[in-house]
Structure 1
């Protein structure tokens, strides 16, 4: 008699697809059978509701018996929540961020299997080729922020809701992933036809063109509209501060513990820089906008950022906060976390599984550089 495991097709690709099908079926089936619990109080409240509220430029969205209502008043939102109604606010929650991390890890496994099937992705060149796409993701998200600023100014946005949902988290990750995958596919096709020596070259060029187009569009809005501007001191402060923070961190590594970067090499420098952009953009955007003549400070979009602000404010006296601000610990946390990640990626990981190691490093950079680029551009263009 043949053992059961021998009779099963345990192909990793089939197993991944089967898992995807089971999870999708469970969510769809649960939404139909237990709508209030699965859809209304989970999928809608933590994932689609925040996107809908963000896309309509309101304070919150309320899912009631009569349908979804978009509310502009924060007081009314609080009252609806106190009354036990299902309320979704723009931005992230702890639940949604955990969900995004799980989806990201699952997607990374799928991408790894795809790259392995195509026999590509084991070169560090792919890491550098994908850096423009991470910047593009942050810039594209800022295009949606510009759309909300246009709505508030009574102007039709470039991409109206619900189409703008494709460039709002979490759907923007799918959008950028699809664009990136298409660029890699085109690069592979060009390489196979002998037009280029390596597929990474056209891939990086496509990402750079997309990034440039997005930033030029935002610059156009800043130069020609009343709801956007161009704050040169802001982008100078963010890029300059990130460069200094990266240089100091790198010097400390090289001077006192060079073994930290033995495995990643220059990729480690890029990772630290990407998270320095995120940390510096938060410090500038949340604390120093008035000092730079760029208007009022921005509001933190992530629970972690808000928690750092709350903790710092509760520890330091107002006299100190007036000088230092309350977001600078976030920059230190980002630099420390990035350095730790660089340290754990040793040579052995690249030798044993180069594809998955590079993909993990891409993900690590993306979770810092993507949001950091958005925060930097939001502050730069006043949206």
Structure 2
């Protein structure tokens, strides 16, 4: 079925094609500068190094060299790509996300879904699924470094669950689930509520992924099971949400007016991220792991570094150095939620739902990954 295209959609398509075209042409004409120094350095290089289990990857005029020692990486000439995120890549992903949300909102307009907050709630399991799949990749890396163990997912297949490729994979999975659920709800008598079916599909996929991690914990030496991390993270995140959201609704009602229930869910998702970092970075060893986890994002690492510079060592020994990240997350998400007033909800309901989903995902996605990393000692 063909959908009529609006002027806004044509403009969006033109902007996206122009940006992609500029990157493609620049990569062909100025290969070392545009592709090697930007696209590869900040986006594909980290994926390639991660997928190969290397400490870093070095670009040398189109010849990529994998290095497996930190000292060798430090001595290498730029551009050098390390597994994980950088500030440049995170900004790039954020811009890509915002542009993509506009395109998805057009699609939802044509499908005539997404106005209700039920759509947000039905996609909640898919947000957790993204974090769980990243832990599967972490487990795959753990298998690679374990003595005598073979990775259960080899290259290039493992790159599908490494950022940023996993974002596109999760988008495809989620879109397929949405289309199937809506089609069955509208065209058959088997399904009455498409949103419930959508949530059910996500829940089954999530349970299968976490179940696979549990299987690895039982059958391998490089994955363990420490449920205390999940219990503490979810429990403390719930306490933080209640202690923050109830006073906000009572004393600052304008902030919660547009998102009374959805706002609590978004806050909870970011509280999970904050608590998972505090528990994993500061108290993992005390709770049974061999060592504390390390931050996976530049913002987490920056907050830890600033805390170490500001607070004396005697205080950090008692409180840890990751707790300010939880404070930053809570304050930031309350500010963002204040932008979702009732007027915005009425004027652009679908885009509002998508934006709330995006805000939830950037908190709960990495938060669930950190929680499960600690739970399975990866």
**TM-score if structure 2 supplies the norm length?**
0.95
1:129 and 2:122 aligned? yes
Alpha carbons 2:56, 2:83 under 8 Å: kept: yes
Alpha carbons 1:61, 1:70 under 8 Å: kept: yes
Taking the aligned partners of 2:345 and 2:249, their CA distance within structure 1 comes to 21
Deviation of the 1:274 alpha carbon: 0.2
Taking the aligned partners of 2:99 and 2:338, their CA distance within structure 1 comes to 24
Identify the residue that residue 220 of structure 1 maps to in structure 2: 215
Deviation of the 1:158 alpha carbon: 2.7
Counterparts of 1:93-172 in structure 2, within 5 Å, are 93-153=86-146, 154-172=148-166
Identify the residue that residue 17 of structure 2 maps to in structure 1: 21
Identify the residue that residue 318 of structure 2 maps to in structure 1: 323
Q: Which one of 67, 89, 109 corresponds to residue 82 of structure 2?
A: 89
Identify the residue that residue 280 of structure 2 maps to in structure 1: 285
Q: Considering only aligned residues, what root-mean-square deviation do their CA atoms show, in Å?
A: 1.4
Please give the per-residue CA displacement for 1:284-330, whole angstroms capped at 9, x wherever unaligned. 11111111112211111111111100110001000000000001000
Taking the aligned partners of 1:371 and 1:96, their CA distance within structure 2 comes to 15
Q: Which one of 39, 43, 50 corresponds to residue 47 of structure 1?
A: 43
SS of 1:344 mapped into structure 2 = coil
Relative to structure 1, the CA distance from residue 94 to residue 166 in structure 2 (aligned partners, 3 Å threshold; closer, same or farther) is same
Deviation of the 1:92 alpha carbon: 0.4
1:34 and 2:30 aligned? yes
SS of 1:61 mapped into structure 2 = strand
Identify the residue that residue 4 of structure 1 maps to in structure 2: none
Unaligned runs of 5+ in 1: 1-8
Identify the residue that residue 208 of structure 1 maps to in structure 2: 203
Deviation of the 1:196 alpha carbon: 2.2
Taking the aligned partners of 2:110 and 2:182, their CA distance within structure 1 comes to 13
Identify the residue that residue 72 of structure 1 maps to in structure 2: 68
Taking the aligned partners of 2:366 and 2:62, their CA distance within structure 1 comes to 35
Alpha carbons 2:274, 2:326 under 8 Å: kept: yes
Alpha carbons 2:254, 2:341 under 8 Å: kept: no
Deviation of the 1:10 alpha carbon: 6.1
What is the aligned residue count?
372
Q: Which one of 244, 265, 285 corresponds to residue 249 of structure 1?
A: 244
SS of 1:70 mapped into structure 2 = strand
Deviation of the 1:151 alpha carbon: 0.6
Counterparts of 1:231-242 in structure 2, within 5 Å, are 231-242=226-237
Taking the aligned partners of 1:297 and 1:199, their CA distance within structure 2 comes to 42
Please give the per-residue CA displacement for 1:196-245, whole angstroms capped at 9, x wherever unaligned. 23321111111111111110001111121100101122222211221211
Taking the aligned partners of 2:150 and 2:99, their CA distance within structure 1 comes to 37
Alpha carbons 1:12, 1:113 under 8 Å: kept: no
Identify the residue that residue 185 of structure 1 maps to in structure 2: 179
Counterparts of 1:254-265 in structure 2, within 5 Å, are 254-265=249-260
Identify the residue that residue 299 of structure 1 maps to in structure 2: 294
Taking the aligned partners of 1:184 and 1:262, their CA distance within structure 2 comes to 28
Please give the per-residue CA displacement for 1:120-143, whole angstroms capped at 9, x wherever unaligned. 111110000011000000001111
Deviation of the 1:13 alpha carbon: 2.4
Alpha carbons 1:108, 1:359 under 8 Å: kept: yes
1:197 and 2:195 aligned? no
SS of 1:69 mapped into structure 2 = strand
Alpha carbons 1:62, 1:86 under 8 Å: kept: yes
**TM-score if structure 1 supplies the norm length?**
0.94
Deviation of the 1:65 alpha carbon: 4.4
Please give the per-residue CA displacement for 1:5-32, whole angstroms capped at 9, x wherever unaligned. xxxx962223222222222221111111
Identify the residue that residue 381 of structure 1 maps to in structure 2: 376
Relative to structure 1, the CA distance from residue 236 to residue 10 in structure 2 (aligned partners, 3 Å threshold; closer, same or farther) is closer
Alpha carbons 1:235, 1:377 under 8 Å: kept: yes
289-298 vs 133-142, which deviates more? 289-298
Alpha carbons 1:234, 1:294 under 8 Å: kept: no
